Amino acid sequence: MSEAAVLRVLSDSEIAEIHEAAITVLQECGVFIDYPRALEHLASKGALVDFASRRVRFPRSLVENALKTCPSSFILHDRDGNPAVRVGGDEVHFATGSCAIRYQEDGSARSSVAEDLVRLVRVADALPQVELQSTAVVAGEAPKTLADTYRLYLVLKNSAKPVITGAFSEHGLWDMRSLLDAVTGGQVEDAPCAVFDVCPSPPLKWTAIGAANVMDGASAGLPIEFVSMPMPGAASPATLAGSVVIHTAETLSGVVLAQTVRPGARLVWGGAPVQFDMRYGTTPLSAVEATMIAVATAQMGKYYGLPTHTYAGLSDSKLVDAQAGLETALSGLLAALARVNLIAGAGALDFVGTQSCEKLVIDAEVCGMVQRLLRGVEVSSETLATRLIMELGPGGEYLSQAHTRRWFKKEAYLPGPVIDRLDRKGWEQKGGTGALARAREQVQRILAEHQPRGLEPDRASGLDEAMRRVMAARGCSSLPFVPGC
């Protein structure tokens, strides 16, 4: 089968140039790490640490040795311990966007609450094109001290799919680990069902929380996804190449930190590049330049032999409109053609600040069409169908042929009711609605009919108990959807 060609925006020699530039930055400039434990640890491993300025410089050999111990791929499992997706190679998987603070319904956005996250998770659970969940929105009811843990709890309660998440504090990672231990029966290291996003602070800085999450995630056996955020002209050079150098240097510093804590730690070379729009001071993730940086950084990740991730397949529009459709499709398609392993963004609007169930079901069709494109064109004696063509000859009728019955469902991606393919008369008879109205109907249908796979009673009660323990430790007496409190 001939798969779609892999998109590249960097030649091999340009990749080597960027690598050398990043090594130079790490050796001569270094990164700022606002976390004494990380400074002491890196100094003990051969980094050159100025404790007064908290500046860390990395010898080339330290970087190269760290890269040698990184796994090139790993398996993410579902909540129930079944292998779900392989992260690595040229495999492409789509996930919902994460960490929004607003939920949009019927064109109106408001601060998100727990019920919104439950709706998003249950809708995503029903969409086979979206293989991973994320902790898509914050739940406003939760205090800041357990906002991260509560998001993960709601996802684990409502879907078995693997999840991309992240901690907001040092203790948050361990609280979340306790939920994963409860739901997996202590198999979180052997059969991980969650990836933890950790973000450096551009340019070339790690906060105490970020550095702690890298070190603790590695020691706890949790897969870590680095999400560097180059911002051309604001937090990285205005040039795309310079922004990739910043991304590479930041991420390599994270690789060293994780691999020196635990050689073999599972890492993902991720990112959330943006284009800084000087006219408005905004940071569109769906700008074509942002996606070009994403493709370039994915090439760097593949050069180092690491699994890759990016934010794409999303939009900066405030509405589920034509802009949302074109930005989502363009960025998602380009990232997929670059074979980025994890593409996070489905459902996201407004600089990933807003999530919409209606957009999520539309985006799922984008994901499905892109996956079909990646599958390519199968060429064999059966698919060439030369004998059939000759048998039927000029003017032949193919509709009733057994060959047609064997192949039409295999060859075509058949979208759901959100995508209109009726003739005009049929469309008018169905109400003559647009995509957004059909998406609303699809969301309502899923929420009314879809039943996510439930947790076994023992594991469900264990998860509830783990959440209640975290709440008690953080001084919270009750939260929606947590029974017994």
Look at residue 1 and tell me whether its pLDDT is greater than 70.
Answer: no
Dump pLDDT digits (tens) for 284-317: 999 999 999 999 999 999 999 999 999 999 999 9
Look at residue 123 and tell me whether its pLDDT is greater than 70.
Answer: yes
Segment 374-392 shows an average pLDDT of: 97
Look at residue 73 and tell me whether its pLDDT is greater than 80.
Answer: yes
Looking at residue 161, what is its pLDDT? 98
Dump pLDDT digits (tens) for 422-460: 999 999 999 999 999 999 999 999 999 999 999 999 999
Report the share of the chain in percent with pLDDT over 70: 100
Dump pLDDT digits (tens) for 19-62: 999 999 999 999 999 999 999 999 999 999 999 999 999 999 99
Look at residue 334 and tell me whether its pLDDT is greater than 70.
Answer: yes
Dump pLDDT digits (tens) for 189-241: 999 999 999 999 999 999 999 999 999 999 999 999 999 999 999 999 999 99
- What rounded mean pLDDT belongs to the chain? 97
Looking at residue 3, what is its pLDDT? 74
pTM score, whole prediction: 0.97
SS (H, E, C) the chain: CECCCCCCCCCHHHHHHHHHHHHHHHHHHCEEECCHHHHHHHHHCCCEEECCCCEEECCHHHHHHHHHCCCCEEEEECCCCCEEEEEECCCCEEEECCCECEEEECCEEEECCHHHHHHHHHHHHCCCCCCEEECCECCCCCCHHHHHHHHHHHHHHHCCCCEEECCCCHHHHHHHHHHHHHHHCCCCCCCCCEEEEECCECCCEECHHHHHHHHHHHHCCCCEEEEECCCECCCECCCHHHHHHHHHHHHHHHHHHHHHHCCCCCEEEEECCCCCECCCCECCCCCHHHHHHHHHHHHHHHHCCCCEEEECCCCCCCCCCHHHHHHHHHHHHHHHHCCCCEEEEECEECCCCEEEHHHHHHHHHHHHHHHHHHHCECCCHHHHCHHHHHHHCCCCCCCCCHHHHHHHHHHCCCCCCCCCCCCHHHHHHCCCCCHHHHHHHHHHHHHHHCCCCCCCHHHHHHHHHHHHHHHHHCCCCCCCCCCCC
**Residue 484 pLDDT level (bands cut at 50, 70, 90):** confident
Look at residue 396 and tell me whether its pLDDT is greater than 80.
Answer: yes
- Size (the chain), residues: 485
Look at residue 105 and tell me whether its pLDDT is greater than 80.
Answer: yes
Look at residue 351 and tell me whether its pLDDT is greater than 70.
Answer: yes
Segment 372-386 shows an average pLDDT of: 97
**Residue 260 pLDDT level (bands cut at 50, 70, 90):** very high
